[in-house]
Structure 1
């Protein structure tokens, strides 16, 4: 059975200082640059950045003259404008309550976010989550409907808090005669942006988007660069000859 790593649950609205420099860009302009950001857990699984309003570039902030009464206090809605790029309703600045003086910007209102000098995707990384990529000599076989798709004795195993172990395999160990390139691309806060996705064709049946690769993953996940992984939830995996149960996750 696949190892099940429970998520580190942090109370909703728990806050902590962010120990890293945080920056965000819009249309080539730096909207925010701070070493005073705060993690706020609005939900249990990962936090959001709350930024001191004084660390936003005032030349790029548009006061929309709209006051909101929210769970965390009163807030003034703001937009962003950088050159010819307008992002209305891009966030809010709290004027009272426990996060007074802090701004919460919508992630997708910015073109790019950075922790120190490394780009971060999708949402802030949870400081209580961990992702490790470890080389192994265990034998991994991936199959679907009785057809072997890949088999390797040199996988890289990725252990990520809250997800089943992922097995990344050399491309020479993958039978690409059953794989069809897909235009799908996804992003992960911990691994970066995928460079490739594949669907699996077995006979007349096409199983969409079962495998992926990161050509340029984040620095911490460099061991998986160029390797191929499959959704454990959707294929059959044998580890050292032992069949693993298909885990149930939000990818199932």
Structure 2
């Protein structure tokens, strides 16, 4: 598929998902389909809409409530698997839906315990098919500083290029000055890289800067080159690349 430049938004509307999609709740497969649809509800990533015929009917609980939303009329359903209940978490589109969506179900992502594309778990939201994430080894020299203190320096970074985000520099742990880092309990998921295994805050003098560095010990298969490496938020530290100071970017993480 074609990649969209950072300044453009993905196409609006509906597209078929070419991957098998499954979701699990309380150990039970709630849906299993090769006919899911991508529906863009806002510009940055789509949602899955699932054919009702590919949803386990025994887990759906009709809450007898009709809602009119932007794409048509839906009947609100909950989910029930044994003692586990997720009220109001599924919207079944009726015949009064926009073209192509009648007979589909839109689930709240967080209502499920896990989602899968083929046999790989997906986190946070469906992956945007128009986003690329590439991890490339490099011999460029990267130095990370904060308030004049060097936090890390390496001439063997892995550079991660992700559509719409600044380049991230992943560095070997031997290149990181851990005397300035303090472990954090934070864990964050990413639909493209997986779930972080570690986070660190940075202490410079008497000031603690929370959650500025992280690592993925077990990233997704496509991002295996970053396994165990440490990256910093460019937005909150100073990066010097091949001797040239880089401007701090502005992203939705820090504004």
Same fold (TM over 0.5): yes
Structure 1 residue 196 corresponds to structure 2 residue 198:
yes
> Counterpart of 1:172 in 2: which secondary structure?
helix
How far apart are residue 7 of structure 1 and its match? 5.3
Kindly provide the CA deviation profile for residues 165-196 of structure 1, in whole angstroms up to 9, marking residues without a partner as x. Answer: 00000000000000000000101000000000
* Unaligned runs of at least 5 residues, structure 2: none
Structure 1 residue 6 corresponds to structure 2 residue 6:
yes
Could you tell me how far apart the structure 1 residues matched to 2:8 and 2:84 are? 38
> Counterpart of 1:90 in 2: which secondary structure?
strand
Look up the match of 2:157.
Answer: 155
Structure 1 residue 78 corresponds to structure 2 residue 67:
no
Kindly provide the CA deviation profile for residues 135-161 of structure 1, in whole angstroms up to 9, marking residues without a partner as x. Answer: 000000000000000000000000000
How far apart are residue 11 of structure 1 and its match? 3.8
Could you tell me how far apart the structure 2 residues matched to 1:38 and 1:93 are? 14
Structure 1 residue 65 corresponds to structure 2 residue 67:
no
* RMSD after superposition: 0.9
> Counterpart of 2:156 in 1: which secondary structure?
coil
Look up the match of 2:227.
Answer: 225
Look up the match of 1:23.
Answer: 22
- 8 Å CA contact 1:7, 1:45 repeated in 2: no
Could you tell me how far apart the structure 1 residues matched to 2:159 and 2:10 are? 26
Could you tell me how far apart the structure 2 residues matched to 1:125 and 1:199 are? 28
Could you tell me how far apart the structure 1 residues matched to 2:229 and 2:8 are? 28
Alignment of 1:172-191 (within 5 A): 172-191=174-193
Look up the match of 2:89.
Answer: 90
Alignment of 1:20-169 (within 5 A): 20-95=19-94, 96-98=96-98, 99-169=101-171
* Unaligned runs of at least 5 residues, structure 1: none
Structure 1 residue 250 corresponds to structure 2 residue 252:
yes
* Higher relative contact order (CA closer than 8 Å, sequence separation 6+): 1
**Structure 1: which 4+ aligned runs deviate by more than 2 Å?**
none
Could you tell me how far apart the structure 2 residues matched to 1:138 and 1:194 are? 25
